[in-house]
Amino acid sequence: MTLPSSASKVLIVTGGSRGIGAAIARLAAQDGYAVCLSYLGNRQAADEVVAAITGQGGTALAVQANVAIEADVVRLFAEVDASLGRVTALVNNAGILERQARVDDMDAARIGRVLTTNVIGSFICAREAVRRMSTRHGGAGGAIVNLSSRAARLGSPGEYVDYAASKGAIDTFTVGLAKEVAAEGIRVNAVSPGIIYTSIHASGGDPDRVDRMKEGIPMKRGGTAEEVAKAVLWLLSDESSYTTGATIDVAGGR
């Protein structure tokens, strides 16, 4: 698949086959991006997102890649180079959590899986994006948005302290990278969702978590993937041209 010569916006969304990532991919395509979404294993879900985009006249590509594996990330960006052109925007959305547990019940393997995917994966994806976007490397600039979480500041005690810690690392990474590449034409920001209706809660063994906790949210409801996606697209857009190193909470006041 090759971009028309007039197209100039190329976006990679990691973990783009479902939930927030899929919503970002669909909204970005409506905004004129050629979209590559990476997925871990669910090819059918990824293909459905691609079909929804191309069915409305957009350009989309799905690439299997595990962001926890450096070689997969390198291959992902190489496939985008060959199929869509040089990336101009990256959303580091891929992330995992494990079943709810206290810290004194976690083993090193679990913690390593969470940190490798959520932190190291985001670092390596950003590295590849910077190598293509930075004016230091002959690029024309671009934007990176990292998906954080309100858990980074609330801690997720008794549930996912390892996940919360990984998102705390993403907050620091966002600020540091933003300052590092600000003079090279790249803006780096984060969106910090609260309790959102997605399937990630089922992965943690608590599929009804949003409804169980919504009364503790000032707005008394969970959020939607589309609400998070709109914040991400604003940070990717020229409307946020003087914004870098920032985090937008999409959390209903929680």
For the purposes of burial, counting CB atoms within 10 Å of the CB of 223, is it exposed (0-12), middle (13-18) or buried (19 or more)? buried
Any idea which residue has 């190291």 for tokens? 120
160 catalytic? Reply is no
Q: Are 97 and 163 in contact (CB under 8 A)?
A: yes
Cross-sheet strand order for the sheet of 142-147? 60-64, 34-39, 10-13, 89-92, 142-147, 186-193, 247-250
Q: Which position has the token pair 């302290």?
A: 161
Q: What does the alpha-carbon distance between residue 149 and residue 30 come to, in Å, rounded to a whole number?
A: 25
CA-closest candidate to residue 34, choices 95, 92, 81: 81
Rounded Cα–Cα distance for residues 75 and 69 (Å): 10
- Listed in sequence order, the residues at least 6 apart from 42 whose beta carbon sits closer than 8 Å to its beta carbon are 17, 18
Annotated catalytic residue: which of 33, 39, 160, 163? Answer: 163
Q: Enumerate the active-site residues.
A: 163
